Chains A and B, each alone.
Chain A
Amino acid sequence: MLDRSMVGTRIRQRRVMTGLKQAELAERAGISASYLNLIEHNRRRIGGRTLLQIAQVLEVEPSLLSEGAGAQLLAALKEAAAGQNDLSPDATAEVTPELDRIEEFAGRFPGWAGLLAQLNQRCEDMEQTITVLTERLAHDPQLAEALHEVISTATSIRSTAAILAETRELEPEWQMRFHRNINEDGSRLAEGAEALMHYLEAAPDTKADIRSPQDELHAFLESHGFHFSQLEGWGAASRVEPIIENSAELRTGPAQELARVLLRQYVDDARALPLDEMLRHVERYGIKPDVISQQSQQPLARVFRRLAFLPENVTGLVGLVSIDGAGAIVLRKPILGFSVPRNGAACTVWPIYDCLAQPGRPQRHMLRQGDLRLEALAVTEEVVPAQFDRGPLVRAHMLLLPLEAGAGQENARDVGSTCQICSMADCPARREPSILSSGL
């Protein structure tokens, strides 16, 4: 989603990057410095001839100033640049992406930028494939057993053959024994190699394992538009398994188990807040989770899930992020260009993490991530009650709602996606340096 209200901000950023003073740009664009100052602080709308003149002085396409580059594309390019750190030292010496011109690049060459983002995504997927295969090698007991058998047999053959070849005056009975051993080991080696071959041939399609169970779950939810009409209404529990069995996205057991847990939760939520009741609430109150929660006497977390999993033509855009008690993302329903990391830890400044620090106290904040503005509502939910020997297990949920243009500008909280691709210079929550330390 592009934010036209940020034209001034983009002009200021571009001017600073090119080293022009405000007065210089104003003079060359044929406007007063005070007027440019108002434009740069988004207090005057700009378009037409003035925009063209400013774009000409700044040597950028006017659309780059008026529309910016797509937030998702920018985030993808920043991720690609972050991956540069994984290149070898020799390679990085030759490859230095101009981070301060990333928006210009995406704006002027959207096709190339999109291709680069896709290639980076593909590269990440392939790296994950390697990780999965390495993990399989390291932890698959059947494979470990087969390899151990082969290596032990090879060890025996090597040692025995060396004795036969290198020992002078070997007694006939020893010769007989070692020949027999080599014969036995040869047969064992053949059997072991055959078993290993069968195992590798029978291994599932590597594509089935290239993604984490979370990625499979996400693809599954996306393919259903985050809504399951089959699970609305009477007898829905019995329809969970057929949905999982018929899914092309849920290829592995762990992903199917994740989906099973989520769909059972969906059924419970739908039973407590039936579709027709939710539709009435939305029609009457709009996307107001607190009001719907009060009216329905249902917890906020349940209302969040129901809103996020209603058809988009009913609710409009509604995003949802859920995390476990350790802060790991367990569910993500994207909204607009709000960047949510696929793996690893997200931005600690997100209100959802405030909730973990203060369970039981819902949070409501306006968020600003780059040019994007959103309203975020966050709550915690106790998923396993406390016992005498341990505290409760909690999850936190953050509902993301679009903001009207201009709303929440003043009090918005600046947030990122992950530290590595976040340009906020003085963020007290930063846990690692950003590749964008120079800012945009």
Chain B
Amino acid sequence: MGKKVLLIEDEQNIIEAVSFILSRDGWEVKTHSNGHDAIDAVRARTPDVIILDVMLPGKSGFDILREIRADQGLAHLPVLMLSARGQAKDVEMAEHAGANQYMTKPFSNAEVLDAVRNLVMS
């Protein structure tokens, strides 16, 4: 079994597409689709890397990321943030919140794969 990716995203068709390409690349993919209890999902799934959308129902990806970084058991996890917003201030906010990488939509499948591989290797 490969390493585990937790994809926190609320768009069902993006979940299916990204899950498919990661699975074909050998990753074990877990998904979660709302912000309310995303931190519980992170604790329960114990992923090696997290893909985290910014705009989620219930709680923003930035808030979830801050919770992850504040938790001693999770703080080390690499996080790739996905967002439709690509302004400099958004990127800066993501860096400040503790994101390892920030990717703007629409992204290509190859970009996501490369980012996830690099985050786990580093």
Query: A residues near B, CB below 8 A?
Result: 138, 147-148, 151-156, 158-160, 162-163, 166-167, 174, 177-178, 181, 184-185
Report B116 CB to chain A, min CB distance, Å.
Answer: 14
With known contacts A147-B84, A158-B108, A152–B14 Cβ distance under 8 A: yes
The answer to the question of B93 belonging to the interface, with a C-beta cut-off of 8 Å to chain A, is: no
Neighbour of B17 across the interface among A138, A154, A178, CB < 8 A: A178
Neighbour of A152 across the interface among B16, B18, B105, B109, CB < 8 A: B105
Bound-state Cα–Cα, A194 to B16, Å: 26
With known contacts A147-B84, A181-B17, A159–B11 Cβ distance under 8 A: no
Report A134 CB to chain B, min CB distance, Å.
Answer: 10
Please give the number of chain B residues whose Cβ is less than 8 angstroms from any Cβ of chain A in the complex.
17
Task: Please tell me if the beta carbons of B84 and A148 are within 8 angstroms of each other in the complex.
Answer: yes
Bound-state Cα–Cα, A178 to B13, Å: 8
Report B85 CB to chain A, min CB distance, Å.
Answer: 8
Task: Please tell me if the beta carbons of A156 and B55 are within 8 angstroms of each other in the complex.
Answer: no
Task: Please tell me if the beta carbons of B84 and A159 are within 8 angstroms of each other in the complex.
Answer: no
Query: B residues near A, CB below 8 A?
Result: 11, 13-14, 16-18, 20-21, 24, 55, 84, 87, 105-109
Task: Please tell me if the beta carbons of A158 and B106 are within 8 angstroms of each other in the complex.
Answer: yes
Which residues on the A side are within 8 Å of B18 (C-beta)? 159
Neighbour of A163 across the interface among B11, B17, B87, CB < 8 A: B17
Task: Please tell me if the beta carbons of B17 and A159 are within 8 angstroms of each other in the complex.
Answer: yes
Which residues on the B side are within 8 Å of A160 (C-beta)? 13, 16-17
Which residues on the A side are within 8 Å of B109 (C-beta)? 159, 162-163, 166
Chain B residue at smallest Cβ distance from A177: B16
In the complex, 21 of the A-B residue pairs with CB atoms within 8 angstroms, ordered by the A residue number, are A138-B87, A147-B84, A148-B55, A152-B11, A152-B14, A152-B84, A153-B11, A155-B106, A156-B11, A156-B14, A158-B106, A158-B108, A159-B14, A159-B17, A159-B18, A160-B13, A160-B16, A163-B17, A178-B16, A178-B17, A181-B17
Bound-state Cα–Cα, A160 to B24, Å: 14
With known contacts A159-B21, A163-B21, A151–B13 Cβ distance under 8 A: no
